[in-house]
Amino acid sequence: MKKAVLLLIVIFVFVVSAFALNKNDIEEDKTGKKFAKGSMYATGQIGFNSYVATDEPFNTMPFTLGASYEFALTDNIGIGSTVMFDKWSDYLGIFSGKWTFRVFKPSLDITYHFNANKMKGLNLFIGASLGYSILSVSNELGSDYMGELKSEPHFAPFLGLHLYFWENLPGFFNKLMITSKVYWSVTGDFSGVSAAIGITYKIK
């Protein structure tokens, strides 16, 4: 249920953005360039995945947790990194106690921002993440995991946007934005569609 709510929120954000793109109020940002060479951004985010890595998971996290960082190489191109964390349990259909799975997903991200300095209230971008899914498996009885899941590389193109809800406010709030992304991971056991939404702070 919570994952469905998050998906609806992400879809709503993209619909609102599409509406904004069709308006005729596109103008230069009064407070300066939103995305410009040398800028730095930090994001805290929650997300969810479409994949189900084991047959009967339980004790799953309601959302994956993560953080990301981006540095603007030019007025349109950014480079950064993301790390996401997920955890769940499964009995795997055998009498060997509870298995707990933890996945850390660090990645290197490259992003292209469209019309970064002209869209009032939003910034649309695309990119790709190249990283490694690090799997850790533990068993309450101390058994060794002999299953098929393993640590592996992952590659995920994505579409995202920044929404500047507070761009007209002074000081700290002027540097905050809502960020949402939709990923399509195309490799490995943890492939599939995923989404994330979070709060981004413009450091510089």
Q: Please give the structure tokens belonging to residue 133.
A: 């899914």
Distance CA 197, CA 193 (A): 14
173-182 pLDDT, tens per residue?
888 999 999 9
**Average pLDDT for 144-163:** 93
Split at pLDDT 50, 70, 90, the class of 18 is very low
Distance CA 197, CA 47 (A): 6
Q: Which domains does the chain have, with CATH numbers?
A: 2-23+38-202 (2.40.160.20)
**Is residue 85 predicted with pLDDT exceeding 90?**
yes
Closest-CA residue to 36 (of 88, 9, 71, 85): 71
The answer to whether residues 114 and 159 touch, using CB atoms and an 8 Å cutoff, is no
Confidence (pTM): 0.79
Decide which of 52 and 39 is more confident. Answer: 39
